[in-house]
Structure 1
């Protein structure tokens, strides 16, 4: 993850909701974070546990994965990473997604969104995303983007070129 290499995210606790096989959890822990992955799928959590074990020697921080519901999660996190989580949620859950991020983000923390898929499509999941959609969810709650741009093609997963944007969001002082 290029943003981790840039060192622009606050250090501390990281949450990866909808973590799947926990590759992002591993990446955060390799950069010294106490990283927690969360998924609703028992199969995903089992596979994530295996990925964590395979990468344990490379971790500079802590990494755990738990079976659980993002919307019932408590605590605070310095970084929350959303990539292919919002697009997997039914559009009716989007407002609750934004509210939960506001509850979970620690003061001075950063919500790191990879906005995907930016494309014309109907139905889902994945549901169509856009920069404007994510702005409309977060800005009314006091989130302000410090970085909001299309991800350069060379940093995208193959096949996702031109369809992925990055957003780094902080809560404004209220």
Structure 2
């Protein structure tokens, strides 16, 4: 099932037509209802799995002591566990308390079957506010931040704020922002969520504060993005 098909017309309208200040509350309400999980794939994106396995050394995954990773809009937390399996102190943040509870339950079960060398934590928080940064003792920034289906879930009016926030969260001069660019198959004018994106939009949002190190179409990704997804790694500039 495609991502678009998984979102009912009613749910899409509830997220599309509202002041941006109401976005978090409406998203949380849909999670609370328990049946709105349009981007849940029961596993991390294979594109991220392959990137970390094949090119993780050049990103510093061989020396992870004390390093932190962040997954905004973490959903059920599969990506958090993946980063944690590399020895990172990984954390997922979601504005929905229901989503965080699901992530905690899923991770507890997964860790019983396959422990990780790092850590996995989940926090109910607003991505755009600082409380979770203090709670995670990450005032100096995160070594890795990962975005897949988070930017495209935000109203376009929040894109500049997203880029500014990423610049604040990624560690200055050494931290990496990993993006799976999605949905590139969808025209920007078609509405959302998910809201259509292009390579150029990412470049425009991140080009001033980050250096683009890696950009390619992955051999593997989730079915909905095959043939259009790109994976990009940005390093925050030292300013």
Q: TM-score, normalised by structure 2?
A: 0.68
Q: Render the CA deviation track for 1:40-71: whole Å, top value 9, x for unaligned.
A: 11221111001110122421101000101111
Q: Deviations over 1:78-113 (max 9, x none)?
A: 000001100001000001101111111113010001
- The corresponding residue for 1:129 is 197
| 1:129 CA drift (Å) | 1.2
1:1-174 equivalences under 5 Å are 1-6=49-54, 7=56, 8-10=58-60, 11=64, 12-56=67-111, 57-73=114-130, 74=133, 75=139, 76-107=141-172, 108-121=174-187, 122-140=190-208, 142-152=209-219, 155-174=220-239
Determine the C-alpha separation between the residues in 2 that align with 1:17 and 1:58: 23
Larger Rg: 2
Runs of at least 4 residues off by over 3 Å: none
Please identify which structure carries the higher helix content.
Answer: 2
CA contact (8 A) 2:183 2:196 kept: yes
RMSD across aligned positions (CA): 1.3
**Equivalents in 2 of 1:117, 1:172: separation in Å?**
26
Q: Aligned equivalents of 1:150 and 1:165: distance in 2?
A: 4
Is the 8 Å Cα contact of residues 29 and 61 (structure 1) preserved in structure 2? yes
Q: How many residues align?
A: 171
Decide which moves more: 17-26 or 70-79.
70-79
Partner-residue secondary structure (3-state), 1:81: strand
Inter-partner Cα distance in structure 2 for 1:58 and 1:130: 37
CA distance in 2 between counterparts of 1:25 and 1:100 reads: 19
Structure with the larger strand share? 1
Distance 1:158 1:120 in 2: 15
Contact 1:9–1:79 under 8 Å retained in 2: no
TM-score by length of 1: 0.93
DSSP-derived class of the 2:171 partner: strand
Q: Which SS does the other structure have where 2:128 is aligned?
A: helix
TM superposition shift of 1:159: 2.7
